[in-house]
Each structure stands twice: as structure tokens, then as C-alpha cells.
Structure 1
């Protein structure tokens, strides 16, 4: 009995020793693998070049057109130096001058953590009205529209449109032209307001009565003349459309494909010159060459 017990004890000690040896070998291999991975990671981090960053001012919440911009609405985040959007603010003192009455207002909607840029806010002390949307040398001009001429209410501030005039040329010495014509008079005119809304974050359709465009004084003179002598229609230009429309004019004949007949040639009668002479009691007419 003792011999059996001793044999079992010896076998158990042998198995325990083998298990300890295997566990020790497994742990050693894992330690070596972890050490190798640590060295490779440190080497990779040492080879990675640090990216220079610059503090950029971003919004802390969603901002909408017309809101007053305060220091609580912005914060500074580190931005890769070679990826900073053009016109971004990097200095709080520049964005918020210390002088009195230097408030800024939002011109374009911004989402949270979006960079605050010069084109998205007014100048210090400037209100968020139409005057802030008009570039130097441009003027604002209102055009009356309806559902048809206003593209069914899909116009938004910031869109660009082509302007067509429809009217009659009667009495203008138009070489016999009759009926109405439609002519493209202005291209790529920017809308800066639709009715009383100047913000570009309008959602859904809006049937407008007037749209306000930004144009040069010469363009405004043409638009005013066209609006007072005929009907104006707007055609929305696509965002990625960079084509320049050429001169376009359509009258009723061109619309229906009717070709204008050439006038019949005028028949010129041959001039005959005669001279009358009296012979006794008779008067005789004699044909002679015409001298003039």
C-alpha cells in the first residue's frame, strides 16, 4: 500500500514539475514577444515626425445668421499648420477688439467645432444687414417675382441667376419686327436676399414677391429699364456651372420655326423720253434718248 502511495506521489511530483516547466517556458516566450513589440513601437514612434499645430478659433455651438458672436461662443483648438482654412482667426484679440461698439455678427451659419472665418462674420461694429453682403463697387436692387418667374420658391440668398426680359419692340424702329421677344440681359447675378431674408440657411420652399440682387450700377440701370418696359424671369444657375451664357434672343417666329419671307423685288419701269413737234395741224411725238 505504501509502495502504491509512493508511486502516485512520485508521478504527481513529476507532472507538477513538467507543468511548471511548460508554464515557465510559455511565460518566457510571451515576455520576449511583448518586449519585441515594445521595442518596435518605440522605434516607430521615434521615426514619426511631429506635426506642427496652430491654435485656431472654432465655434462651441451651432451659430445662425444674424446672431451676435461672443467669446463664450468660441474656443481655441490645435489645428495642423498646413491645413488651416484660409481666413481663419487664430487670435482672440483680433476677433474681439477691445474698442467699444466692436461687436461681430454671424453672416453664414456655422456648426459646432467649425472654424470661424472672416467671410462668416461681420467686421467689428458692423451689423448683419444687407450692407455687409454688398461688395465694393456693387449695389443692391430689388426685382419683383412670382411663382413662375421666381423658380417656384427655390431661390436662396447666395444663389446665382440669369435674368431674361420679355417685351415688345413695336415703335422702336426694329425693321418690321412684330410680336414679343425674350432676351437674356444679365448672367450670373448673385442673390443677396429673398423677401426680407438675407440668411443662406433657409429650409424648404419660399414663395417670394421680391428678390434682391447685387450688381454694378450699369447692370442695375439695365435691370430697371427692363423691369419698367417688360417682364423679368429668373433662371437658377447650378452651383458647379461655370459656363458663360451667350447672347440669346427668341421671338414668336423663331419659337414656332416660321421663316420670314423675303420681300418681292420692286419692278422698275423703263423710262421713256419723247419730244413733241407740230407738223401743220398735227402734233407728233418722237422718242429720243433720255439724258437724265
Structure 2
């Protein structure tokens, strides 16, 4: 009798424990599912200006309280969108890193609104020894001939454009590479006014790029460097025009009045003045 009661109590305890485990697991499952949100992330590395495809995306569970603003929960909404910045594997795809809907892939997708892309020819010196990489900022210097007031020309170097974004070097647009690359062309992002200045500058002289700090926003005004300012020479005085001597004009003086008398000698006559 006692054994049967013990067996009943043991069976009841086992059933109660099993029910508690099932209820606890259900509660944890419901709690965990409500605390996470599916977020679309990059399945692998995605380069700048590249359109997204289904194979480049995957969905992971992200804590609901820390979902980044602009994240996507549906991978299909991202198909064909072009990225404006390189994505690392597992990085969430955000609206702020995407070009507007309908934008085609390539360099044109990363050009800012109201800006243009212009390419200038460079060499290992002009291109800052290959350290002018996509994503860097440069100043543009032109060296040309400056006409003086006396119709003489002198060389001058002047910064014509400041804080210009490098979009690409040759055909490379990736901003993740930090190794210097010596190329023969650099593509810059400029406004229409700056594009006109740059096109004129490269037609009247030679260009040089000056690499600058990416966070430096100062734009000091300069007068340009000439041979005179380079060697600290004073500006030459204006050449005075030669003075030609004025020749005096002499007027014929009238003959002085004299007293004259006629002299008759025989058959001949003459006039004598004194």
C-alpha cells in the first residue's frame, strides 16, 4: 500500500516537472522571438557602386532594442539597390548607404547631388606619389604665366580648387585600399563652376595635386607664388618713359633799320646804308 502511494506521488511529481519544463520553454521561446528582429546584412564584402543581388544578402536576428535606423527586414526590397559605401560581411544594409531607387551601378552612382566627375591626367609627381586614393581630399594647384602691367610675363603657382574629393584613381573606386597606386589619371568630384575652372586651368598651365587631411576644413586664401615672392625680391619699380629733349624753335629776326642814301656817280648810281 505504501509502495503504491509512493509510486503515485513520484509519477505526479514527474508529470508536474515535465509540464513546468514545457511551459518554461514555451515562455522563453515567445520572449526571445519578440525580443529580436530580422535584419538584412551583407553576406560578403560589397564594393562601392555595386548593385546588390540576392546572393549578396542574408537575414539574421538582431536585438530589437538596438536595430540601426534605416535597416531592412526584407531582402527583396534591396535587390538592385546600389551601395554608396563598401560593406563588410555581416554589416547591416542601411538606407543611408544606398543610392536612390533606380540608380544604375558604377561611378555615376557615387557622385553627390549637384556635383560632376572630371578626370585629370597625372603622373607619379602630380598624383602625390600614388597616395591620392579614392575618398581622399586634395587641393589643385596650377602653374602658368601671369601677364604683368608692362606686358611682361612671369611664372605663378596658385591654388585654384580646395578640398576636392577623389572619386577614383584610374578605374579603381574602392575606398578600403590604403596602399599607394601610381596611375595616369585621377577622377575628381567637383561642382559645375569648379569643373569650368579646372578645365581652363589644365589648358593654360600644368596641374599638381596637394593631399590634405580629410577632417581639415580650413580654406586659407593665398595670393599665389611668383619668382619675386619665392626669393623675397622687392617688386621692380615701373620703368619711366624716356624724356626727349625739346628743341627750341628760332624765328627769323627782322633786319635792323638803317639809314640809306642814294649816290650818283657819273651815269651810275648806288645806295649806301649806314
TM-score normalised by length of structure 1: 0.64
Go from structure 1 to structure 2 and tell me whether the alpha carbon gap of 1:235 and 1:112 turns closer, same or farther (over 3 Å shift).
same
Partner of 2:113: 136
CA distance in 2, matches of 1:121, 1:138: 17
Matched, 1:109 2:86: yes
Residue deviations 1:32-65 (CA, integer Å, cap 9, x gap): xxxxxxxxxxxxxxxxxxxx87654333433334
Q: Matches of residues 134-283 of structure 1 in structure 2 within 5 Å?
A: 134-169=111-146, 172=147, 174-176=149-151, 178-263=153-238, 276=251, 278-281=253-256
CA distance in 2, matches of 1:232, 1:80: 53
Partners of 2:72 and 2:94 within 8 A in 1? no
CA distance in 1, matches of 2:148, 2:81: 55
Structure 1 position 153, deviation (Å):
0.5
Partners of 1:59 and 1:114 within 8 A in 2? yes
Partners of 2:141 and 2:209 within 8 A in 1? yes
Structure 1 position 77, deviation (Å):
3.6
Partner of 2:45: 62
Partner of 2:58: 74
Tell which deviates more after alignment, 113-122 or 176-185: 113-122
TM-score normalised by length of structure 2: 0.68
**How many corresponding residue pairs?**
222
CA distance in 1, matches of 2:187, 2:239: 50
Unaligned runs of 5+ in 2: 1-34, 258-274
Partner of 2:72: 90
CA distance in 2, matches of 1:138, 1:277: 82
Q: Answer with 1 or 2: which has the greater Rg.
A: 2
Go from structure 1 to structure 2 and tell me whether the alpha carbon gap of 1:250 and 1:276 turns closer, same or farther (over 3 Å shift).
same
Partners of 1:69 and 1:106 within 8 A in 2? no
Partners of 2:165 and 2:189 within 8 A in 1? yes
CA distance in 2, matches of 1:135, 1:234: 21
Name the SS for the 1:189 alignment partner: strand
Partners of 2:51 and 2:80 within 8 A in 1? no
